[in-house]
Amino acid sequence: MSSSSAAPRRDGKAEAVAGGKPPMRQALVAAAFRLFVERGYERTTVDDIVALAGVGRRSFFRYFPSKEDVVFPDHERCLADMTAFLAASSKDDEPVRRVCDAARLVLRMYAENPAFSVQRYRLTKQVPGLRAYELSVVWRYERALAAYLRGRFAGRPDGTLRADVIAAAVVAAHNNALRSWLRSGAQEDAGTAVDHALGLVQSAFGTSAGAAGPGEPEPGGPDDVMVVVARRGAPLWRVVQEIETALDRP
């Protein structure tokens, strides 16, 4: 949820706030979570939600296709922001760093309203159906990251495999840090934890770890050749030393 004075509608227009009342979308989410806490998720119906919010069923379904969607009111926006962010990338952007930065958009969404994010996390843990729904949302984020990476690694050895592995690693690292923050009641520094987790991914898969940058040959590919020159009759230990020295060079 956003604390702004206008909420986005499906047609892209802003919903004006009259008399200081919250936007209808925000009011529906607030009413739903109040009832989820008081009655439980399963015992709360859409009719209960609209009655508390003071609107009709048609208004509810104008914003949310189902009761599950009211629990995750901001993920569609965040997924759209992530997709646009990746689409705006240039060929000079280091691809692993770019997908890590894209993942930080999800953290920013959660950090916009820490209290709501913690409340949703606790509710999701209690309701298996919501957990399954959340996993489907996470999968969509991962697919968006993988699609971008597949384009960047196209034509390279194991490009598709590399893209899928890195996308999964980014999501796993981000979610590990995010859930730790949520379990703490949003008391820890989420940004620092996520930066540390994503830093591990960049260290493992980024250009400095062997992933080829723009215009560079793929490590281990046909152009990745090392030549070592040694004197005829040189002892084996000297040849091995020369090889080790060459491998340590950038």
pLDDT of residue 9: 38
- Tens digit of each residue's pLDDT (9 = 90 or more) over 133-169: 999 999 999 999 999 999 999 989 899 999 999 999 9
Domains along the chain with CATH numbers = 7-69 (1.10.10.60), 74-209 (1.10.357.10)
Q: What share of the chain is helix, strand, coil (3-state, %, to 5)?
A: 65, 0, 35
Residues 6+ apart with CB under 8 A from 228: 239, 242, 243, 246
Strand pairing partners for 8?
14
pLDDT, tens digit, 9 for 90 and up, residues 42-54? 999 999 999 999 9
Cα distances from 173 to residues 25, 47, 77, 147, 196, in angstroms, run: 31, 39, 22, 18, 9
